[in-house]
């Protein structure tokens, strides 16, 4: 027996409530983490990121309120069940239009932030992100047109504008996949070049520090892509499960956003790191390479040990664990074959 729309609305609301609660907790955690990092490290707030986060939590809250109101109206004011089904399938109802417009807007905000991060990481080169931005805009226009058609064209049903809905989800899927792939590639390329310039030992430690960042980005893109793909397949089969996914998707966009910010932020590399690395890292790396064979006074060089000195952090890379003294300064050895003068 196919799922009826009232069952889909109730199921979607239950799932949305759980996801919205999770998003609210993650949003508060992100805010605390940003304030803590600003206090501890003196870092500046990333206002585009803050704006995107606030917009997403506002949209998720508005969507949850509208969905609750829609279910209450359907189950309290419409009886018997046939009247309730007719109300929920009526695409001209203001609550129906409101909740889907909120979803389209939240998806556009999420895509825009991914495009923004890609633009920053690629050295603010607009040509790199021109295609994803164009696809995101066309996708949003297709979504808004569908909502307009529901309210202004005669004899409309939820699936009557399926071709425009498929275009909306498919274009958003392609835009997000492109931006996420280019973002992950840029991070991989920049850190790989830096590791090569630091020497063979830095290359060995490179994957241990970088792989989590790339995995975080690709995982977030995969979750978003899976959601959009589910939309397209549900539309193709004409299932009422579309409403379940629609109600889950709005807080899910915010959850993906929050997880990426939290986990990447804890790696201590923000987006500007890769842009600044491209601007000035090559000169400093070659300077480090030219002085890699210098010895610090008072530091014995053991057999099989390679040391590289780089101002201002005095990072020293060794092939094995050891502890020594440089004047009165302690040298602490770490497991990643690097230690610093403190």
Nearest Cα neighbor of 188 from 101, 249, 277 is 277
CATH code: domain of residue 50: 1.20.1070
Is the Cβ–Cβ distance between 113 and 52 less than 8 Å? yes
Element (H, E) at 150: helix 126-152
Boundary-marking domain end, from 228, 254, 278: 278
Query: In this structure, is residue 184 part of a structural domain?
Result: yes
Cβ neighbors of 162 (< 8 A, separation 6 or more) are 235, 238
Cβ neighbors of 115 (< 8 A, separation 6 or more) are 129, 132, 133, 136, 175, 179
| Average pLDDT across the chain, whole number | 74
Boundary-marking domain end, from 278, 299, 315: 278
Q: What digits encode the pLDDT tens for the residues 252-270? A: 888 888 887 776 655 555 5
What pLDDT is attached to residue 277? 53
What pLDDT is attached to residue 198? 65
Residue range 102-124: average pLDDT? 90
Residue 331 has pLDDT above 60, yes or no: no
Which residues span the domain enclosing 312? 291-341
On whether both 259 and 230 belong to a single domain, the answer is yes
Query: In this structure, is residue 283 part of a structural domain?
Result: no
Residue 318 has pLDDT above 50, yes or no: no
On whether both 11 and 130 belong to a single domain, the answer is yes
On whether both 211 and 304 belong to a single domain, the answer is no
What pLDDT is attached to residue 102? 94
Residue range 84-93: average pLDDT? 88
Tokens of 236: 């193709």
Query: In this structure, is residue 284 part of a structural domain?
Result: no
On whether both 178 and 300 belong to a single domain, the answer is no
Measured CA distances, 152 to 57, 91, 101, 145, 286 (Å): 30, 10, 15, 10, 64
On whether both 228 and 192 belong to a single domain, the answer is yes
Considering its fold, how many domains does the chain have in total? Answer: 2
What pLDDT is attached to residue 32? 84
Query: CA–CA separation, 202 vs 195, rounded Å?
Result: 5
Is the Cβ–Cβ distance between 68 and 16 less than 8 Å? no
On whether both 136 and 190 belong to a single domain, the answer is yes
On whether both 124 and 258 belong to a single domain, the answer is yes
Tokens of 136: 């995101």
Residue 127 has pLDDT above 50, yes or no: yes
Q: How confident is the model at residue 72 (pLDDT cuts 50, 70, 90)?
A: very high
Is the Cβ–Cβ distance between 203 and 164 less than 8 Å? no
């Amino acid at each position: 027996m196919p799922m009826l729309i009232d069952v889909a609305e109730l199921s979607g609301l239950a799932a949305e409530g759980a996801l919205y609660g999770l998003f609210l907790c993650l949003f508060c955690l992100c805010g605390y983490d940003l304030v803590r990092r600003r206090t501890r490290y003196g870092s500046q707030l990333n206002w585009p990121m803050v704006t995107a986060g606030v917009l997403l939590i506002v949209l998720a809250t508005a969507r949850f309120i509208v969905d609750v109101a829609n279910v209450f109206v359907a189950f309290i004011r419409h009886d018997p069940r046939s009247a309730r089904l007719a109300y929920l399938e009526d695409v001209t109802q203001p609550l129906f239009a409101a909740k889907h417009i909120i979803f389209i807007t939240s998806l556009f905000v999420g895509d825009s932030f991914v495009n923004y991060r890609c633009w920053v990481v690629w050295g603010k080169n607009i040509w790199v992100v021109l295609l994803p931005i164009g696809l995101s805009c066309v996708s949003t226009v297709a979504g808004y047109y569908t909502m307009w058609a529901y309210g202004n064209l005669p004899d409309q049903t939820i699936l009557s504008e399926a071709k425009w809905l498929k275009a909306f989800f498919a274009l958003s899927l392609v835009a997000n996949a492109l931006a996420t792939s280019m973002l992950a590639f840029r991070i991989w390329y920049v850190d790989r070049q830096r590791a090569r310039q630091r020497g063979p030992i830095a290359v060995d430690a490179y994957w241990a520090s970088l792989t989590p960042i790339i995995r975080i980005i690709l995982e977030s893109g995969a979750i978003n892509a899976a959601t959009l793909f589910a939309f397209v397949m549900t539309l193709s089969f004409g299932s009422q499960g579309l409403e379940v996914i629609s109600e889950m998707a709005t807080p899910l966009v915010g959850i993906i956003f929050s997880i990426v910010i939290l986990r990447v932020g804890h790696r201590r590399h923000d987006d500007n790191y890769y842009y600044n690395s491209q601007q000035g890292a090559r000169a400093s790396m070659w300077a480090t390479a030219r002085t890699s064979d210098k010895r610090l006074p008072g530091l014995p060089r053991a057999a099989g040990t390679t040391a590289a000195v780089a101002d201002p952090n005095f990072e020293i890379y060794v092939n094995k664990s050891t502890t020594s003294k440089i004047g009165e300064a302690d040298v602490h050895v770490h497991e990643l074959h690097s230690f610093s003068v403190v």
